[in-house]
Amino acid sequence: MREVSAAVLAVAARRSVHEVLQTIVGASRRLSGARYAALGVPDVTGSFGEFLADGISDEQWKAIGPLPRHHGLLGVLLRDPHPMRLADIRAHPDFSGWWPAAHPDITDFLGVPIVHGDEILGELFLANKQPSGPFTAADEELLVLLAAHAAIALVNARLYERNRELSIVEERNRIAGELHDAVSQKLFSLRLSAESAATLLERDPPRAVTELGSVRQLASEVADELRTILVGLRPPELAGDGLDVALRKQIELLDRVHEPAVRFTGEPVACLTGTRSQAVYRIAQEALHNALRHADAKLVEVRLAERDGTVLLTVTDDGHGFDPDSAARAGRRLGLTSMRERARSVGGRLAVESTPRGTAVRVEVPTDG
């Protein structure tokens, strides 16, 4: 029961849906003593939208090939809200009779659904109990208990992610509204005043001077409005959770909405001022934007570390690289200029290396203590 309690706490502590799923499948294998464990998540068609495994190496997983579909015993279980315990999976009438050449040989089997209300959120598959099978009624009872808690954690993680996505949409709408209501109107007035001053410059210089005074005043007001909006853009997580947590949350969101895998490795860096933390965060955002938009990468990695009085941020991708001097990359060059200026403004430095095998952006910012 202590092991069950530890597993439940580990699952409940995760906020990312992917982390919850991975923790569930790992905990289920340890609790049941299974050699192999897997977790299938249904998609809207009733097939497997996601399939995670534990106890299989990355090389073996790649060799197995595509995800299983809705046919065979696994597909049946994905629609059945009841556990299934078998001494030999091959004896079941719905067993398809084959598996890929690289697939491990499976005998004893335990399938436990993860159910929330009338919805099957996923199905746990356990195989080959160690040191010897088959799985027992006690194993089934433990896994049913874990699955019940896993369902709650999974629903909460989905709600958390959905709330974050809605918050991003609301923030975008707020910024768009402020830009339209305040800044765009003042810019329109500024343009009219500038055109009026140009027209009056020769025939009525005093009135032209008055119009130029209006231009100066409007420009100052626009700058103030933009400054206010930009201050509001500071991620709230930086003040509450810190730079590493804010980056992790941002990268988890990007990993869900973009095709390339986006990964984060980092540690707390509490020794940065708010200004420097914000600069590093914005540089990471710009570098991620460049990699996801231009690099055609399969993997983007972000690392954050503190070494010898310096905070080091690295953003790397395995894309096709780029030529900083190419006019076709004008948008990206502008982003690089912005990142360099941000780093310089807080006493840091930025370096960019790009080859046909990928790009690395590195920024070093001194700590405050």
The candidate with the shortest Cα–Cα distance to 32, out of 137, 113, 148, is 137
The reply to whether 221 falls in a domain is: yes
Residues 6+ apart with CB under 8 A from 27: 7, 10, 11, 146
**Which of 160, 190, 213 is the last residue before a domain boundary?**
160
Residue pLDDT tens, the chain, 369 long = 666 666 666 666 655 677 778 888 888 888 888 999 888 888 777 777 778 888 888 788 788 777 666 556 777 777 778 899 988 888 888 777 667 777 888 889 998 888 888 888 888 889 999 888 789 998 898 888 888 888 887 787 777 767 666 666 666 666 666 666 566 667 777 778 888 888 888 888 888 888 888 888 878 777 766 665 555 555 555 656 688 888 888 888 788 777 889 999 988 876 777 788 888 988 998 898 888 888 889 999 999 998 888 999 999 999 988 876 553 444 455 578 778 888 998 899 999 998 888 999 999 999 875
- Both 39 and 73 in one domain: the answer is yes
CATH number of residue 67's parent domain: 3.30.450.40
Q: What residue type is 340 in one-letter code?
A: R
The reply to whether 165 falls in a domain is: no
The reply to whether 307 falls in a domain is: yes
Counted residue by residue, the chain has a size of 369
The reply to whether 237 falls in a domain is: no
Residues 6+ apart with CB under 8 A from 318: 297, 298, 299, 357, 358
- Both 121 and 256 in one domain: the answer is no
**Which of 127, 160, 193 is the last residue before a domain boundary?**
160
Determine the structural domain holding residue 225 and report its residue range. Answer: 171-232
Domain count, the chain: 3
The reply to whether 95 falls in a domain is: yes
CATH number of residue 317's parent domain: 3.30.565.10
**319 φ, ψ (degrees, to nearest 5):** -80, -165
- Both 40 and 129 in one domain: the answer is yes
**Which of 160, 187, 206 is the last residue before a domain boundary?**
160
pTM of the model: 0.46
Q: What residue type is 191 in one-letter code?
A: R
The reply to whether 166 falls in a domain is: no
Dist. CA 40–CA 25, nearest whole Å = 10
